[in-house]
A and B are shown apart, each in its own frame.
Chain A
């Protein structure tokens, strides 16, 4: 039962849409029903190994203590961990750092225990076809830039050779302060190869002040380019106008929405604060350091991974008016399309940017 467009008793004089009002339009209700089926997802992340086949400028893994953890290479120990994780309610495993493709047997073990998940990889080595997870392939610019930042030659062609045609794969283009212009060339090449791409925004590790760190001008330029590419390649680019706003705003995600990962959230009663853990490659975890990309400077955090959780979790404040709620639905649609195999994305409700709740557009 939904109330009609009534004013709520403790905000006299202020007309506000009820949730029922927001769901009244069939196109909105259909999308709400589609995304809410996935509200059962509860993630944790796992560093699979401290080894990597390349080294990248500003790599998060090689910041802080986690790089010094001894690798656990015992599949039985990983299987026991995954069973315990499933037991405590984890339904989505994010396998990351340093390079998960170097430990394919452990990836299989994770996939057997928790069937939904995603793997962050540099994409130079194939991940076996029987690992059921989404595969996120990191792209940091065109081949010249990749060679400079990652010391790997012909990176995009090699990544496409491995993953073009693989329905698990989503390329993730990370916009830095310096590589905005070359994103057009990269997305065009990915489109020609039939690959899908989403966007990330470089978020500085603690203490990092190198050439990748964004400034106000590069964030604005990044937003313009994201919107342009979204318009030009709607079949290739998994993104939304609101995603572009949320990730290129002058305020980082924590200041915009309040980060709900344990590192910034002392509450253990609900949501990520209650269930999220970030395991190191020795299978230990530290609540005080736990977030999706540890050792990121929280004030500069605009990661696609953190936004996927943080923006989605802020349903309440997005259920304020029709435009904001639709923007949220479009955002969650992108998040699910990028992270969850089996999710069928819908066409976006909004083509134009919408300001985050209580904030300006920039």
Chain B
């Protein structure tokens, strides 16, 4: 399992809460695990998470960007880029 950054852990917290994942915590969530193929999330789950991330970080994430958001690490990179001044 890869080490997580603080941002990744915050994203993992939101993801775990919104998709009601069991048997995992933000601290133990592998940021490189594939959310669709390995965790089993689908578009509605991901939409819910994205809407919450938009609120959390006060950014916009267009629908057509969803396919890029396949791991917590990729989401964190995406969020970081959006937050960059």
Are A and B subunits of one complex? yes
How distant is the Cα of A269 from the Cα of B42 in the complex, in angstroms? 9
Asked if residues B66 and A270 are in contact (CB atoms below 8 Å), the reply is: yes
Q: Which of B22-73 contact A (CB under 8 A)?
A: 36, 40, 42-48, 50-52, 54-56, 58-60, 63, 66-67, 70
A→B interface (CB under 8 Å): 1-3, 6-11, 18-20, 36, 39-40, 42, 89, 260, 267, 269-272, 274-275, 312-313, 315-317, 319
Q: B36 touching A10 by the CB < 8 A rule?
A: no
Further pairs besides A2-B56, A18-B54: 14, Cβ < 8 Å: A2-B52, A8-B58, A8-B59, A8-B60, A9-B58, A10-B82, A19-B54, A36-B44, A260-B43, A269-B36, A270-B66, A271-B44, A272-B43, A315-B51
Q: In this assembly, does B83 line the interface, its C-beta being within 8 Å of a C-beta of chain A?
A: yes
Residue ID in chain B nearest A2 by CB atoms: B55
State whether B48 touches A36 (Cβ < 8 A): yes
A39-B44, A42-B42 known; A10-B60 Cβ under 8 A: yes
Knowing A270-B36, A274-B36, A317-B63, say if A1 contacts B44 (CB, 8 Å): no
* Interface of A, helix, strand, loop or mixed by DSSP: loop
Judge whether A270 and B56 touch: CB under 8 Å: no
Tell me, in angstroms, the Cα distance from A270 to B65 when the chains sit together.
12
Partner of A39, one of B45, B63, B70: B45
A267 vs B43: C-alpha distance in the bound complex, in angstroms?
12
**Residues in chain B within 8 A of chain A (CB atoms):** 14, 36, 40, 42-48, 50-52, 54-56, 58-60, 63, 66-67, 70, 82-83
Cα(A319)–Cα(B51), bound, Å: 8
Question: Chain A's nearest CB lies how many Å from the CB of B52?
Answer: 6
A269 and B70 contacting across the interface, CB-CB below 8 Å: yes
Chain A hits for B51, CB < 8 A: 19, 315-316, 319
SS class, residues of chain B in contact with chain A: helix
Contacts of B44 in A (CB 8 A): 36, 39, 271, 312-313, 315
Given contacts A89-B40, A267-B67, A313-B43, contact A3 B60 (CB under 8 A): no
Cβ distance A22 to chain B, nearest Cβ, rounded Å: 9
Task: Name the residue of chain A whose CB is nearest to the CB of B66.
Answer: A270
The chain B residue with its CB closest to the CB of A7 is B58
* Of the residues B63, B67, B82, contact of A316 by C-beta under 8 Å: B63
Chain B residues with CB under 8 Å of A274's CB are: 36, 42
| Cross-chain pairs A/B with CB under 8 angstroms, 28 sampled | A1-B14, A1-B56, A2-B55, A2-B56, A3-B58, A8-B58, A8-B59, A9-B59, A10-B60, A10-B82, A18-B55, A19-B51, A19-B54, A39-B44, A39-B48, A42-B42, A89-B40, A269-B36, A269-B66, A269-B67, A270-B36, A270-B66, A271-B44, A275-B42, A313-B44, A315-B44, A316-B63, A317-B63
Distance from A154 Cβ to chain B, minimum over Cβ atoms (Å): 42
Residue of A nearest to B35 (CB): A270
A108 to chain B, nearest CB (A): 28
In the complex, what residues of A have CB within 8 A of residue B50's CB? Answer: 316
Task: Select from chain B the residue with minimum beta-carbon distance to A14.
Answer: B60
Chain B contacts for A316, CB-based, 8 A: 47, 50-51, 63
In the complex, the answer to whether A6 meets B58 with C-beta atoms within 8 Å is: yes
Q: How far is the CB of A322 from chain B (nearest CB, A)?
A: 14
